[in-house]
Structure 1
C-alpha cells in the first residue's frame, strides 16, 4: 500500500510544481495492471454460457430418453450420460471423428441447416453384434461397414435421433427429417471449416464396453432461436401458460353463473290515489319515446342500451351500446 502524504508534504509538492522545480511527468505513477483476454478471431465464441447451459439441460434429458430406448433395443442395460458441451469449429469436429464411422445427417425444422449425430465404430459394431446374436463385447473392430451393417445401424440411429423431438418439446416444437448416413466424415462438407458448432459429447456404457457418441449442432441452425435457449424464458413461458390455464378455468366457471336481466321501457310518476284506481285498459304515459333506446339492467345495474323488437313470437332486444362507467378512486 502506498504511503499517505502529510499535509506539509502535499503543500511542499504543490509549491515545487508552481515554481517549476518539478514537472508533472516526473511524479511517480502507480503501475496500471490491465487484464487482457485472449480472443481468437478464427474461432469466435458465438455461444454464450447461458446458451451452453441450456443445451446441456436439453440434451441431458435426451441422454436419459435414449438410454431407455437403447436398453429396449439391445436387451442390455445401457447407461448414457452427457459429458461435455463445448463450442468448436466444424473443422475441429471433422478431424476428431474416426474414419470409418457412422454419421447420421438430418434436419430439425424449424431449425436451419443440417445437424450431425456421430456414433463411433466401437459403439456401432457392438450394437450390430448384439442385434445379430452376439454379446457385444468386441473391443476393437478394424473393418469397413458393409451394406448390411449400414442398414442395421440406420434403424438404430433413426430411433435415437427421433427422440430429439421429445427432448426439445419444452423449448421448441421440432420435427426430425433424416437425410442419409455417411461413413467417411471427410465427404460431409455441409459447413465451412471455420463455422462454429456446439459439440455435445455423450458417454455410453453398454455391458463391459464404454465409448462415446457425439451430436454436432451448427450455430447457423439455432441462430434465429437463441432467445429460446435462455432458461429464464422457459420459466416465464411456463408461468404464462399456467396463468392462461387459470384464466380459462375461471372464465368457464363464470360463464355458467345465472344472472337476472331486466329491460326498462321507461318510467313515470303517479300519485297513490291514481295507483289505487288503475284498471285494465288504462294507459300510462312513460318518459321514454317508442323510438328511443331502452335501458338494460344486469342484477339491478345499468349495463347496456338496447332497441326493443320481436324475435319470432317473443319480444327481444338488440344491444346498441354498453354503459361506460367512470371508476371512482378514493382520495
Structure 2
C-alpha cells in the first residue's frame, strides 16, 4: 500500500464535520435505510428463450406456410391452422398433457443435439382420412386402448413426410437440417427425449374444425438444450 496520504477529506474538513455532528446541525437520517434489498445470485442461470424466440417464431411461420401448401397439394386438405408460439415448459408437465392415442414420432434432427418430437393429434389423422375419401371432417370419440388402422397409419406416413419436408425448408435460412425418424408410438409416456425436470420448447400448431368441442394440433417439441447449443 502506498505511504502517501490518500484521504478524501483534509484534517480541517474532518474537524468541521465533527463539530456539525456535535452541534446537531448534520441531518442524522440514514439514506435508503428502509429500502428492501433484492437478493441476487451471481451464479444463477435462468432458462429463457431470449433472442431465440424470434428466430423460432419465424421458423414456425415458414413451416406453417409450407406445410399448408403441401397439405392442399398432396392430400387435398385445407384446414385452418394457427402459427405456433414457442413455449418453454418442463418435460414432465408437457408429456402428461398429451393423451393416448396420438401419433408420437421421435426423430433425430441434426445438427441439433438430442431428439425432437413431432406429435400428431388423432383428430388431425381422422380429418385427413375423412377428407381424402370425400367426407366431412368430424370428431371421433376414441379410447386410450385404440390403435390406428392401416389406412390411418398410411395417412400418418404421408403427414410425417409433409411435416419433415416443410420443416427442412423452414429451417433452411438458419441451418441445413436432416430429420431421421427413430421411433413411433401411440403412448406419449414412451417418448423419453428429456428428463422430467428438463425444459423443452413446445410449438403447437392448432387446427380449427367446425366442431369446436375438439382441439386438434400438431406439436413440434425441441429440448431446450438443443436450441441453446444451436445459438
SS in 2 for 1:108: strand
Q: How does 1:121-270 map to 2 (within 5 A)?
A: 121-137=122-138, 139-143=139-143, 144-148=146-150, 149-205=152-208, 211-226=216-231
User: Which residue in 2 is equivalent to 1:50?
Assistant: 51
Aligned runs of 1:252-331 on 2, under 5 Å?
none
TM-score relative to the length of structure 2? 0.76
The structural deviation recorded for 1:166 is 0.5
Q: Deviation of residue 48 (structure 1)?
A: 3.2
1:103 match: 104
Larger Rg: 1
Cα RMSD for the two superposed structures:
3.0
Which residue matches 2:116?
Answer: 115
Higher percent of residues as strand: 1
In 2, the alpha carbon distance for the partners of 1:48 and 1:198 equals 9
Look up the match of 1:290.
none
Structure 2 CA distance for aligned equivalents of residues 71 and 208 of structure 1: 21
Any conservation in 2 of the 1:122–1:140 contact (CA below 8 Å)? yes
| 1:189 positional shift | 1.6
Specify the SS of the correspondent of 1:88: strand
Q: How far, CA to CA, are the matches of 1:85 and 1:197 in structure 2?
A: 10
Q: Quick one: distance in 1 between partners of 2:37 and 2:69?
A: 51
- Higher RCO (CA 8 Å, separation ≥ 6 residues): 2
Judging changes above 3 Å, is the alpha-carbon distance between structure 1 residues 34 and 129 closer, same or farther for their aligned structure 2 residues? farther
Structure 2, unaligned runs of 5 or more: 1-16
Q: Secondary structure at the match of 2:83?
A: strand
* TM-score (norm: length of structure 1): 0.55
SS at match of 1:197: strand
How many residue pairs end up in the alignment?
208
Counterpart for residue 27 of structure 1 = 29
